[in-house]
Every structure is written in structure tokens, then in C-alpha cells.
Amino acid sequence: MNMNVSSLVVKVLPENMELALAALKDSGLCDVHAQDAEKGAIIVTIEGKDVGEEMDKMRAIEKLPHVLGAALVYSASETGADAATSGKMAHPIGPVPDVLKDS
């Protein structure tokens, strides 16, 4: 199963920090990890079965009360990591050609 996890920085007005935090926590769209009231920044993570689902969640977060905007900071996919550790890469690499080997 494919699972994407991304982190976002959500921008809010410093005076609306508590209201925005409540809206984010109550939304069910994300997990809140940190905030800087002085800068009006909140760090959240979102999960989805694919990038499309994550982008839908990001757009929904941007529409929450007291949210000015959201920026994607980091994204990871478990499918890629799982494939790499299980030896089932999407594009398997064959043996090293003789021409590339040290003689």
C-alpha cells in the first residue's frame, strides 16, 4: 500500500494563533507538531494514499478559519522506501556492465 507523509508550514496572524490551532486540531486533516506564535507559523503533517489526496488536504487546510496559507516543506512516500529495502525497485538495475568495471 502506498502512503505519503508530508509536512507543511501553516501561516497565521500571530493574534489568531490559538484560534487557528483549534481549527487545525479539530479539522481531522493533519497532526500539529509545533508553533511559533511570534512568527505566526504552525508545523503540521498530513498523510494520504497519494500526492493528490495530500494536495486536497493542503487546500482544505488553507480554507480553514484564520489560516493565511500553507506551504509544503517535505514529502516522503513509504512505497519508495519499502521497494528499496525489499529489493523490488520499480526499475531494477542489472549487473554492472564489464565496460564499467575496473580492470
All three cell numbers of 36 = 511559533
- Split at pLDDT 50, 70, 90, the class of 91 is very low
- Mean pLDDT (the chain) is 85
102 in a structural domain: no
Model confidence pLDDT, tens digit, residues 13-60: 999 999 999 999 999 999 999 999 999 999 999 999 988 999 999 999
Rounded Cα distance between 94 and 96, Å, is 7
76 in a structural domain: yes
Rounded Cα distance between 101 and 45, Å, is 44
Q: What is the CATH number of the domain that holds 69?
A: 3.30.70.920
Number of structural domains in the chain: 1
The domain in which residue 18 lies consists of: 4-88
55 in a structural domain: yes
62 in a structural domain: yes
103 in a structural domain: no
8 Å CB contact between 93 and 100: no
